Amino acid sequence: MKSPIPDATVARLPLYLRCLSELRSPDEHCSSDDLAAAAGVNSAQVRKDFSYLGSYGTRGVGYGIDDLAAQLRKVLGLDTKNPVMIIGAGNLGSALANYKGIDTWGFDIVSIVDIDEAKIGEEVDGLTVESIDNIATIVAARSIDIGVIAVPARAAQDVADRFVDAGITSILNFAPTVIHAPVGVTIRRVDIAVSLGILAYHKAEEERRA
């Protein structure tokens, strides 16, 4: 039941991949020290993370840049992307859809829907905003299994229910509220302001001490 690669490690893989492409040096290898410096993490962390993927480095030499990048892409599933639907074509939904361009995560946003008639038909990063009423059809037709909620808090539970009815089993909730779903459906909640809040808290704490 336990995932073979810890979440904290999964979260760092795209960062490594980005750093690798920037780090491309004349020689074909890089050390965990190089990568750690570029990514801003500890070098033991880097080696530990890579050990979960299997071993791909050479002692005394380092990691083959191309090999490593290929391995990271494979683990992240950048070849066989997960089709994702976003509900909510507002700023947050659009920001997420545009993030698709980054392409260092193994998913693919294939549909963005909204309840607002005015938004339906608009273009968001190459996708046409569709009506929320069609989600069951769209989900089935495009084999979508991950849904993203990017609507205001008051609409979140209703949207989640629609996702569940449509057969979605993994939901990411960006609305600042707790939503409920039947067992068998995985829900993750994300508060985009949480890091800002923690930063502000530390700042205030620092001043209190001074």
Partner DNA sequence: TAGATTGTTAATCGATTAACAATC
Question: Residue 190 CB, nearest distance to a copy of itself (Å)?
Answer: 5
- Among 7, 27, 79, 117, the residue binding a copy of itself under the rule CB under 8 A is 7
Beta-strand (E) ranges in the chain?
A: 29-30, 57-58, 62-64, 82-87, 107-114, 123-124, 127-128, 130-131, 146-149, 170-173, 186-189
- Among 31, 104, 169, 170, the residue binding DNA under the rule CB under 7 A is 31
Could you say which DSSP state residue 63 is in? E
- Among 60, 101, 182, 184, the residue binding DNA under the rule CB under 7 A is 60
Residue 58 contact among DNA, a copy of itself, none, beta carbon within 5 to 8 Å by kind: DNA
Two tokens, residue 91: 């700023």
Q: Which stretch binds a copy of itself (CB under 8 A): 26-34, 49-57, 130-138, 191-199?
A: 191-199
Give the closest residue to 31 by CA, choosing from 66, 68, 62.
62
Element of type H or E holding 90: none
Q: Which of residues 58-97 bind a copy of itself (CB under 8 A)?
A: 76-77, 82, 84, 90-92, 94-96
Q: Which of residues 32-51 bind DNA (CB under 7 A)?
A: 32-33, 41-45, 47-48, 50-51
- Binding status of residue 55 toward DNA by CB under 7 A: yes
Element of type H or E holding 47: helix 43-52
- Among 21, 24, 28, 61, the residue binding DNA under the rule CB under 7 A is 61
Q: Are 187 and 171 in contact (CB under 8 A)?
A: yes
The count of residues interacting with DNA (CB under 7 A) is 27
Q: Which stretch binds a copy of itself (CB under 8 A): 15-23, 28-36, 66-74, 129-137?
A: 15-23
Q: Which stretch binds DNA (CB under 7 A): 13-21, 24-32, 118-126, 184-192?
A: 24-32
Q: Round to whole Å and give the CA distance between 172 and 21.
A: 29
Residue 56 contact among DNA, a copy of itself, none, beta carbon within 5 to 8 Å by kind: DNA
Residue 63 contact among a copy of itself, DNA, none, beta carbon within 5 to 8 Å by kind: DNA
Q: Are 159 and 148 in contact (CB under 8 A)?
A: no
Q: Round to whole Å and give the CA distance between 150 and 167.
A: 18
